[in-house]
Amino acid sequence: MPVDACQALLCWYAVDKRSLPWRAGPGKAPDPYRVWLSEVMLQQTTIAHARPYFETFVHRWPTVEALAAESDGEVMAAWAGLGYYARARNLLACARIVADQLGGRFPEDEAALRRLPGIGAYTAAAVAAIAFGRRAVAVDANVERVVARLFAVEAPLPSARAAIRDHAERLTPEENAGDFVQAMMELGQTVCMPRRPDCGRCPLTPHCAGYAAGDPGAFPVKAPKAARPRREGVAYWLEHRGRVLLVRRPQKGLLGGMLALPTDGAPAEAAWREAGAVDHVFTHFALTMRLLCAETDTPAEGIWWPVERIGEAGLPTLFAKLAVRGSEWRRAA
């Protein structure tokens, strides 16, 4: 990017950037813990959805040491609803390494950051640049879109990723790397938006090949999507004296480590009744989960949670939807 374009972008960012809870205030140094936490939460998640979770986390666990000392169950419950639960398990594993082995200090360079659990190429670059001012090339979906438009990249995603990264590498300045990364992301989130780029408000219009070509919204070019497969499953709502049976899912696999309704076969012999089904979309497949409900006089071993307080169990979204069905069945029974 020509120096004047880079300056225009940084000036625009200095004036127009939004106030977000993980950003350092004027004249303050960024807190690596908050930068890291926000970047992990924002993987595959919108700012609007992640923001209240971030605020809850830093209120309950204001330092990496405080987070590291918390139990797995409490952190997983606080993460419930944010999705992609492997992130929460890696978050805790990472916090414990930083707190116990690195004296509470995150590493400053990308290679060392990448050795920590849950930190891939993008997150390592973002943390190195934003928290420590290192020159690093962080390409998320927003930056990818802005770069594809700036250079009118004709090749479709995902094969165009290497070329887009090369462009991003050349754009990144030696100085102000943290602000540059955040400015590119902010531009993608607020101006160069997926459906309708607002080129009239963009500081990069004079340098944008996509704009010059007349249809910047056509970039990035996308390869046709494969249809998402659909799967089916059954969950069980088993009640005993106002409590419902919950299980902790295995650490590995879908929704690993989360509290949930049993899905691995009926947990007891009982007069099971259908209570409808819930649809839920995961990244790689869509799931229709039927719910079977019953009461029992002989409770099996497990976690018996008060039905009235099921909203406090920290169930992931799929099971929270099923719990609504289960509660309705209970009221109708």
By annotation, the residues acting in catalysis are: 39
Answer for which of 82, 92, 129, 192 binds ligand SF4 (CB under 6 A) is: 192
Q: Least distance to ligand SF4 from the beta carbon of 209, Å?
A: 8
Structure tokens at 316: 């992931």
Judging by beta carbons within 10 Å of its beta carbon (0-12, 13-18, 19+), is residue 72 exposed, middle or buried? middle
Q: Least distance to ligand SF4 from the beta carbon of 68, Å?
A: 40
Q: Least distance to ligand SF4 from the beta carbon of 323, Å?
A: 43
Answer for which of 149, 167, 243, 249 binds ligand SF4 (CB under 6 A) is: 149
Q: Least distance to ligand SF4 from the beta carbon of 320, Å?
A: 37
Q: Which is nearer to ligand SF4, 178 or 197 (by Cβ)?
A: 197
Please name the residues in contact with 51: beta carbons below 8 A apart, sequence gap of 6 or more.
Answer: 20, 21
Answer for which of 80, 138, 146, 255 binds ligand SF4 (CB under 6 A) is: 146
Q: Which is nearer to ligand SF4, 1 or 294 (by Cβ)?
A: 1
Q: Which is nearer to ligand SF4, 93 or 199 (by Cβ)?
A: 199
Q: Which of residues 114-143 bind ligand SF4 (CB under 6 A)?
A: none
User: 3-state DSSP call for residue 144?
Assistant: helix
Give dist(CA 4, CA 88) in Å, integer: 41
Which among 82, 54, 86 has a CA at the least distance from the CA of 257?
86
The DSSP 8-state label assigned to residue 222 in this structure reads B
Please name the residues in contact with 303: beta carbons below 8 A apart, sequence gap of 6 or more.
Answer: 245, 246, 247, 248, 259
Q: Site size for ligand SF4, by CB under 6 A?
A: 14
Q: Which is nearer to ligand SF4, 220 or 314 (by Cβ)?
A: 220
Which among 230, 226, 241, 227 has a CA at the least distance from the CA of 277?
230
Cβ atoms of residues 235 and 319 within 8 Å: yes
Would you count residue 171 as binding ligand SF4 (CB under 6 A)? no
Q: Which of residues 198-217 bind ligand SF4 (CB under 6 A)?
A: 199, 202, 204-205, 208, 210-211, 216
Lay out the site mask for ligand SF4 across 64-103 (x = CB under 6 A, - = otherwise). ----------------------------------------
Would you count residue 191 as binding ligand SF4 (CB under 6 A)? yes
Judging by beta carbons within 10 Å of its beta carbon (0-12, 13-18, 19+), is residue 326 exposed, middle or buried? buried
Would you count residue 197 as binding ligand SF4 (CB under 6 A)? yes
Q: Which is nearer to ligand SF4, 140 or 239 (by Cβ)?
A: 140
Q: Least distance to ligand SF4 from the beta carbon of 49, Å?
A: 24
Q: Least distance to ligand SF4 from the beta carbon of 146, Å?
A: 5
Q: Which is nearer to ligand SF4, 32 or 210 (by Cβ)?
A: 210
Q: Which is nearer to ligand SF4, 118 or 210 (by Cβ)?
A: 210
Q: How many CA atoms lie within 13 A of 220 on its CB side?
A: 21
Would you count residue 148 as binding ligand SF4 (CB under 6 A)? no
Give dist(CA 294, CA 292) in Å, integer: 7
Q: Least distance to ligand SF4 from the beta carbon of 247, Å?
A: 48
Helices (H), the chain: 3-16, 32-41, 47-60, 64-69, 72-79, 86-101, 110-114, 121-132, 141-150, 161-171, 177-190, 209-213, 317-332
- Number of H-type helices and E-type strands within the chain: 13, 6
Q: Which residues bind ligand SF4 (CB under 6 A)?
A: 146, 149-150, 191-192, 197, 199, 202, 204-205, 208, 210-211, 216
